[in-house]
Amino acid sequence: MTEMIQLTAEDGHQLTACVAGDPSNAKGSIVVLQEIFGLNGHIRDLPRRFAEAGYYAVAPALFDRVEPGLELDYDADGRARGIECKNAVDGHAILDVSAAISAASMAGPVSVVGFCWGGSLAWRAATCLSGLAGAVSYYGGELPAKAGLASHCPVTAHFGSRDKGIPLDGVNTFIAAQASSDPHVTTFVYDADHGFNCDARSQFDEAAATEAWTRTLTFLDEVSS
């Protein structure tokens, strides 16, 4: 069961978040970072899934700075509006991520798990915030451009080999850069497209999603123990 709560960022901005799990009886906590389509049904369902795995999970509404409650469809119009909103809030997003991390910390070690834009934010959090137990990035488009940065916590990254938005050459650049400079990072590549974890998208790939989810939970159990 999920519920909505209010968070306050360091600059005073108030935002909503979807939470699930029992913080008094959790083995750790997860901050779920959204795609460019808002805090929609798919993202709101992820805290429930993490709660079923024993975690307390918090998913902040990162578009509340421009339009509270915004949910976008997985189509061309939704993508265009999502990119517009992402560009509008991107400079302040880490403040909202930090607010969610603070709220989640009452349940023990905090890890961030992000998807699409959220996958990029997860990498940013891993490289610029301290105190995280771990970070998981699903098809984060920024990772190839930010290859070579040092993470402050263990990181797992998931990519699809058929993702035209994140060409495989860039993924391989990221893998090579982190292998030589950052042993905290483990990267997996699947025979799948962008958004393969989301069953509301046409790119959903059940096999890849299941394998990545299993690896994600194994990783989270390791860094939360």
Can you list the domains of the chain with their CATH numbers? 2-224 (3.40.50.1820)
Question: Tens of pLDDT along the chain (225 residues)?
Answer: 899 999 999 999 999 999 999 999 999 999 999 999 999 999 999 999 999 999 999 999 999 999 999 999 999 999 999 999 999 999 999 999 999 999 999 999 999 999 999 999 999 999 999 999 999 999 999 999 999 899 999 999 999 999 999 999 999 999 999 988 877 899 999 999 999 999 999 999 999 999 999 999 999 999 999
- What local confidence, expressed as pLDDT, does residue 82 receive? 98
- What local confidence, expressed as pLDDT, does residue 1 receive? 83
- What local confidence, expressed as pLDDT, does residue 193 receive? 98
| DSSP state at residue 93 | H
For residues 216, 88, 73, 75, the Cα torsion angle rounded to the nearest 10 degrees is: -100
Residue in 61, 44, 48 with CA at minimum distance from that of residue 1: 48
- What local confidence, expressed as pLDDT, does residue 114 receive? 98
- What local confidence, expressed as pLDDT, does residue 141 receive? 97
Contact 44, 59 (CB under 8 A): yes
Q: pTM score, two decimals? A: 0.97
- What local confidence, expressed as pLDDT, does residue 117 receive? 98
Question: Could you tell me if residue 124 is left (phi over 0), alpha (psi between -120 and 50 degrees) or otherwise beta?
Answer: alpha
Gap between the Cα atoms of 38 and 83, Å rounded? 11
